[in-house]
Amino acid sequence: MCGIVGYIGKKDTQAVLIEGLKKLEYRGYDSAGIAVFTNQGLQIAKAQGRLANLESKLEGTPLVGSAGIGHTRWATHGKPSDVNSHPHTDNSHKFSVVHNGIVENYLELKDELISQGHHFVSETDTEVISHLIAREYDGDIVKAVQKAIGYMRGAFALGVLTEYEPDKLVAVRQASPLIIGIGEGENFIGSDIPAILQYTRKVYILNDGEMAVLTQDSVELMTIEGNFISREMIHVDWDAVTAEKGGFEHFMLKEIHEQPKAYRDTMRGRIDESGKKVVLPELKLTADQIKNIRNIQIIACGTAYHAGLVGRSAIESLVRIPVETDVASEYRYRSPIVTPETLVIVVSQSGETADTLAAMREAKANGAHVLAITNVVGSSIARDADDVIVTLAGPEIAVASTKAYTSQLIAFYLLALYLAEVRGTQTPEAVAQIVAAMQALPEQVESMLAKPDAIKAYAEHISKHEHLFFIGRGLDYAVAQEGSLKLKEISYIHSEAYAAGELKHGTLALIEEGIPVIALATQEAVLEKTVSNIKEVNARGADIMAITHEENVAGLLKSVDQAFAIPKTLPLLTPALSVVPLQLLSYYASLARGNDVDKPRNLAKSVTVE
Ligand code: M6R
């Protein structure tokens, strides 16, 4: 999730771009850059790290001009570095591009452009865009951009400048947000409202498949096919803080709502064109190495560990390789058995968690091949691992992890399917069925997010309690553990997650009249047994809420006080849906208790001590 800003007008362009980028800082980034038309032509400055690094670079040699584009990068293709930072240019240095999103077919396009004599300097997918535009340019930048995007597959928001037409700034939106800000004798583009809010409150929101051509005095909106469109101008009356949160009250709620996009982005480019097969071109692990894997160890902390529990089920059921899961802080102290045929999967949103890093180094030292699932490309864990699958959730700001967790689930499903394909443990039809169900998940999440009221009301109810239980079997138990952690960490309500069948071996003693119990009952194969366990707590007077499927609601209501239905998917994929009401539950419970939702007490976003 990168940030774009663009300006055309009479103000100090460099200052407008830097100020705009500062307003996007809250999203997190690993490098930044700007391109400005100066009287020496199109000049680019970029720097890895914080915006201050770029500002120091510009000190003494400012880029003075009347139009420019700027970018903060959150690395996806290619590590964070000066050269991989945006804006990118072509070999003539006459075109400049900033880009958010992913060009899925960039490798194909890059090979073609190289064969035509283009020379590339970065590892990014974005550089391909500037070369394509340069190749297609024939005196009209709008047409060149339209032709270039005709070759591209994927998601992109673009800002484009060419030295040949210095009075124009071209913007494109295709599945990655972009807005146009309207000023007096000046106009702006931004990936997000905060980038331009200090200059104007009048905006056009581009829809997918639309573009805009900006001059100082005009904005033309059109489809990417070139048909002109008209659009109502919106007046933004958010304050700066609300704007950073995209209009949501908290980052956590914003990030919960970003999950459909995170699912789509994490799958993008990893499902082949037939839509039936998983491809993981980023893996160095060879087919022979995959065929030789004897055992897998999944190591992580907190929420990432809970994603690992789902990952274990996915791999064991689809690939039939034995999988162990460990919390990273314990892994080293149990003398784990590692051989060169052991695949160790470390999971970490931040890629900086000290416990996970230490466990990973131990596994590597013992000869394991280490594959990291992380959300941060240039992180320590990503750098030290032999292989990396990047989750494309974008920066997560709230301490409570939500979209990072669900993107980790998607990464695990993709990995399990890929291993199954290589080892031939699933038929192509079975793989295609799972892939199709995965592609339906984002819409199913959207449908739940559109109706938060029942969960909100239930959250207000439990917010008055000090203790509660989550129960479930199999994958429901894995999700129960995540639901319980989420609730504890931000609402400060004490909760425990139990394997539903284990209650009767001790914990049932704690069930008394009125204690809330949240029962996950989505796994049809163990539903009858879960219902028996629900009856055990019902008989002791518990106040029970079930999360289940529509067809089970009526039956369950004989033993529970209320039931919340989630959309139906394959049992293995259900955690990617059933966790959503639990995230909302902890959010609203924390809100009802007046807590600081995004910054809960005693916790940090990245835990860099063991
Ligand atoms: O950055 P990581 O994924 O390695 O972090 C691991 C845990 O510290 C993290 O998931 C923590 O449990 C979250 N605050 C949970 O919401």
Instruction: Dump pLDDT digits (tens) for 423-432.
Output: 999 999 999 9
Domain 3-244 shares a fold with domain 451-592: no
The residue whose CB lies within 8 Å of the most ligand 1 atoms, and thus the one to mutate among 329, 349, 384, is 349
Q: Is the pLDDT of residue 236 over 90?
A: no
Joined tokens for residue 336: 């784990």
Joined tokens for residue 20: 């705009």
SS3 513: coil
pLDDT in the model for residue 390: 94
Query: Active-site residue 464, yes or no?
Result: no
Q: Is the pLDDT of residue 75 over 90?
A: no
Q: Would you tell me how many other CB atoms lie within 10 Å of the CB of residue 274?
A: 9
Q: State the distance from the centre of ligand 1 to the C-alpha of 605, rounded, in angstroms.
A: 7
CB 195 within 8 Å of CB 3: yes
Which of 79, 529, 535, 605 is the catalytic position?
Answer: 605
Q: State the distance from the centre of ligand 1 to the C-alpha of 305, rounded, in angstroms.
A: 8
Residue corresponding to tokens 């860099």: 608
Instruction: Dump pLDDT digits (tens) for 256-293.
Output: 999 999 999 999 999 998 999 999 999 999 999 999 99
In terms of Cβ atoms closer than 10 Å to its own Cβ (0-12, 13-18, 19+), residue 592 is middle
Q: State the distance from the centre of ligand 1 to the C-alpha of 304, rounded, in angstroms.
A: 6
Residues facing 43 on adjacent strands:
36
Residue corresponding to tokens 């032709």: 147
Residue corresponding to tokens 């894997």: 293
Question: Domain extents for the chain?
Answer: 3-244, 254-446, 451-592
CB 468 within 8 Å of CB 597: no
pLDDT in the model for residue 37: 94
Enumerate residues lining ligand 1, CB below 6 A.
301-304, 348-350, 353, 356, 399-401, 489, 603, 606-607
Q: State the distance from the centre of ligand 1 to the C-alpha of 193, rounded, in angstroms.
A: 29
Class of domain 451-592: alpha beta
pLDDT in the model for residue 282: 92
Residue corresponding to tokens 């339906």: 440
Question: What's the pTM value of the predicted model, to 2 decimals?
Answer: 0.82
pLDDT in the model for residue 165: 96
Residues of the chain with pLDDT > 90, as a percent, come to 85
Element (H, E) at 556: helix 550-556
Mean pLDDT of 488-502: 97
Joined tokens for residue 94: 């006459």
603 CA: nearest ligand 1 atom:
14
Residue-wise DSSP of 320-384 = ---EEEEEHHHHGGG-----TTEEEEEEESSS--HHHHHHHHHHHHTT-EEEEEES-TTSHHHHH
Instruction: Dump pLDDT digits (tens) for 117-134.
Output: 999 999 999 999 999 999
The residue whose CB lies within 8 Å of the most ligand 1 atoms, and thus the one to mutate among 255, 353, 397, 582, is 353
pLDDT in the model for residue 77: 81
Q: Is the pLDDT of residue 242 over 80?
A: no
Residue with CA at minimum distance from ligand 1 atom 12: 302
Q: Is the pLDDT of residue 237 over 80?
A: no
349 CA: nearest ligand 1 atom:
3
pLDDT in the model for residue 1: 62
The residue whose CB lies within 8 Å of the most ligand 1 atoms, and thus the one to mutate among 256, 298, 303, is 303
pLDDT band at 505 (very low <50, low <70, confident <90, very high): very high
CATH assignment, 3-244:
3.60.20.10
Q: State the distance from the centre of ligand 1 to the C-alpha of 566, rounded, in angstroms.
A: 26
Instruction: Dump pLDDT digits (tens) for 139-181.
Output: 999 999 999 999 999 888 999 999 999 999 999 999 888 999 9
pLDDT in the model for residue 247: 86
Residue-wise DSSP of 54-70 = HHHHHTTS----SEEEE
pLDDT band at 26 (very low <50, low <70, confident <90, very high): confident
Query: Active-site residue 605, yes or no?
Result: yes
Q: State the distance from the centre of ligand 1 to the C-alpha of 306, rounded, in angstroms.
A: 10
Q: Is the pLDDT of residue 241 over 90?
A: no
CA gyration radius, the chain: 25
Class of domain 254-446: alpha beta
pLDDT in the model for residue 327: 98
Q: Is the pLDDT of residue 239 over 80?
A: no
Residue corresponding to tokens 């949160």: 245
Mean pLDDT of 368-372: 97
Mean pLDDT of 70-77: 87
| Mean pLDDT, all residues of the chain | 94
